[in-house]
Structure 1
């Protein structure tokens, strides 16, 4: 493992996206206070949280194109400034409608970051290294929740929710200049890199590129049934994932009225989520198995979600919330190894774009329906049943896709099954 690029690229990308993910965590922590101050329903609260993902869709595909043809470094720098300004603007809103507009624009600004970072990492890490690079980077998701939930809670103890949003919009703007100073688009631009190290890396990357299959574009991806199976599966998973992430602070707020305590308690499930995410990815690599390591956590999460509706003890509820967090986060590593295993090489790039773009709309679906059902029934029970059902359907669809492709590959000599994909 070449050390310099791992120490130079990954930590900066990690912090950058951790700041982006903060905007999906803090809204959950702040939501009880936003609802009270703006006098809005749980359904409207779901809209406020979820409309972010409608905006998020817009730059998913253009973001990858701009990062490839122009500069991932400069593109992300501009987006960091824009999302920081949008995050700060959230603190100046006076109405529900204004908050929805700003959250939508925040989603637009952050939507181009994910595909741009994947392009950046592909410019720096070989195929053999890329899974680890992606995994180290994606670990920022639970880490962001672990850190930002307590920070938001502590800030709430001293400031109102508007001021908290303004304060939490400042770090991305500052860190944008750190990003600009430390990140280079490709090894050939990196003055800090040893010449021998750079030459070897560029040689390896060029050799891989010369063997790569030319992309058949989005037209081919749209026509591929397996691609749409993965899109639907990801949509169902994100429905459960973001429905849980958005509403878990509101559930925890029923345990305590102190915002700082609520923030610390909210961090507990996400701490277990980080451990589960790392352990499941390592275990999946050792077993060379992907499907089981996606299906099993999703089923466990669904069961614990349902079980949580039958207990009254805050301690037991926290235990079940933690098990659910493990289940909804753990599939991240193994899941992103599946598309490259079951989709033709010429289609996989566009397929990943569609999967992330359309599938992330589940981030609107989950919070919204939990809010609607909360308003209709007066409790979170029905909403969490809905999220559990989404996770079960995602697990079944993953199992079906894996089984279908195993059958197909069994008829082709020397082809590994999906459960033997490295």
Structure 2
């Protein structure tokens, strides 16, 4: 049954996230064009890039609670329509003020999509399956960058067509598909197992009973039964702190990697886009291959700490090495991005239930993703202060190293996580 669920749900969710991430991050390719056409400085760009996450984070908890109340199908459709229209509307910014306003509005519109999907996956996958499912979903991020960087670079070459700049065409062409895909989501995405026409009533009931028992056991073990108590759970707080450090790295590279590559020499927009895609190829490979091994607490801890340490090494290499070696450093860092992230998001889903789980996942993303504001903002300030596009990498590497140290506090054993030594009837209870 797990294969059936994966086949029916994951392609649609991954395509939606690919479009989401392209729309969220395509301003990285537009950075130098916005500076040339609108006079937006590196510091102003970093602030605008980060304002998305500030607005996004403030709206995530209410958004996830709304999804819990109204259902995934309606709420994810609503999110996609509004973010698609606003992303296309980025083509009409006139200067720093309108740039800030549109980034804030886009953050509000898209808030809740990622934590909503993280919550949605807990409706379908058991604890032992969840890291692999989350890793598969997160593979959409590198795919978005693999596709989006060359696509954006090619669209930028349309500069002057119909009187529009290339960056305006990029926002329009990459924004509107979210609106069209929202129609598909509305028609095909079930709210939960009971609404899935491709599951029998018996299968749906067995799956829901198994997942409900897991959630109740996890909440009983953690002692957290209300949203107010989430931040008193030391393991959730630890996961949030590590996620904050992790997101500083992810979004610093997302927004500033094209600029760093451009600083290596004279290249066309398409060439920059193609080179930018290479670390994301490594990221996709990591997301698809490694999270599946995080089947118990000991493995999860080792993968988390090892992945963050590897990210730190890659960033330090990128900060000091010549272009080709620096690119390998970026590939090493990116390869671990979505290896460690599913492990962090598995924490609240093993310790919370019901509306508390919905709010807890959103709160974790709310606080953690503030790193998406801090990283680009500091990168922009340091680039402007030093004149070097790579100067901010030292700051990012230091924060990721802190995350690796914090990862040592993760438990080595979790009696609620079934490992492969579990009894056969436990492993196959929901058709694994």
Indicate whether the TM-score tops 0.5.
yes
Q: What does residue 154 of structure 2 align with?
A: 154
Closer, same or farther: CA 208–78 of 1 in aligned 2, 3 Å: closer
Closer, same or farther: CA 79–417 of 1 in aligned 2, 3 Å: closer
Closer, same or farther: CA 172–32 of 1 in aligned 2, 3 Å: same
The runs of 5 or more residues in structure 2 that have no matched partner are: 160-165, 423-432
Deviations 1:363-394 (A, max 9, x none): 00000001001111111343110000110011
Deviations 1:122-176 (A, max 9, x none): 3334445433332222211111111111100111112311121111111001111
Closer, same or farther: CA 419–307 of 1 in aligned 2, 3 Å: farther
Closer, same or farther: CA 212–389 of 1 in aligned 2, 3 Å: closer
1:305 deviation in Å? 1.6
Matches within 5 A, 1:315-394: 315-339=324-348, 350-394=359-403
3-state DSSP of counterpart to 1:57: helix
1:298 aligns with 2:308: yes
- Alpha-carbon separation, structure 1, partners of 2:289 and 2:116: 27
Q: What does residue 252 of structure 2 align with?
A: 243
1:61 deviation in Å? 1.2
1:49 deviation in Å? 1.1
Closer, same or farther: CA 381–253 of 1 in aligned 2, 3 Å: closer
Is this contact kept in 2: 1:9–1:183, CA < 8 A?
yes
3-state DSSP of counterpart to 2:267: coil
Q: What does residue 136 of structure 2 align with?
A: 136
When structure 1 is superposed on structure 2, of 351-360 and 370-379 the one drifting more is 351-360
1:220 aligns with 2:229: yes
The runs of 5 or more residues in structure 1 that have no matched partner are: none
3-state DSSP of counterpart to 2:106: helix
- Alpha-carbon separation, structure 1, partners of 2:34 and 2:237: 37
1:344 deviation in Å? 7.0
Deviations 1:206-236 (A, max 9, x none): 3432564266222111333443332222112
Closer, same or farther: CA 315–340 of 1 in aligned 2, 3 Å: same
Closer, same or farther: CA 338–189 of 1 in aligned 2, 3 Å: closer
Q: 1:309 aligns with which of 311, 314, 319?
A: 319
Deviations 1:30-67 (A, max 9, x none): 21211222222211111121111011113311222112
Is this contact kept in 2: 1:276–1:329, CA < 8 A?
yes
- Alpha-carbon separation, structure 1, partners of 2:227 and 2:119: 17
TM-score normalised by structure 2 residue count: 0.86
Q: What does residue 203 of structure 2 align with?
A: 200
What count of residue pairs does the alignment treat as equivalent?
408
1:182 aligns with 2:188: yes
Aligned alpha-carbon RMSD (Å): 2.7
3-state DSSP of counterpart to 2:123: helix
TM-score normalised by structure 1 residue count: 0.88
Deviations 1:321-363 (A, max 9, x none): 212212333312333334556x577976644332211110100
Is this contact kept in 2: 1:66–1:72, CA < 8 A?
no
When structure 1 is superposed on structure 2, of 169-178 and 6-15 the one drifting more is 6-15
- Alpha-carbon separation, structure 1, partners of 2:353 and 2:66: 22
Deviations 1:217-264 (A, max 9, x none): 221113334433322221121112211221111111224430111111
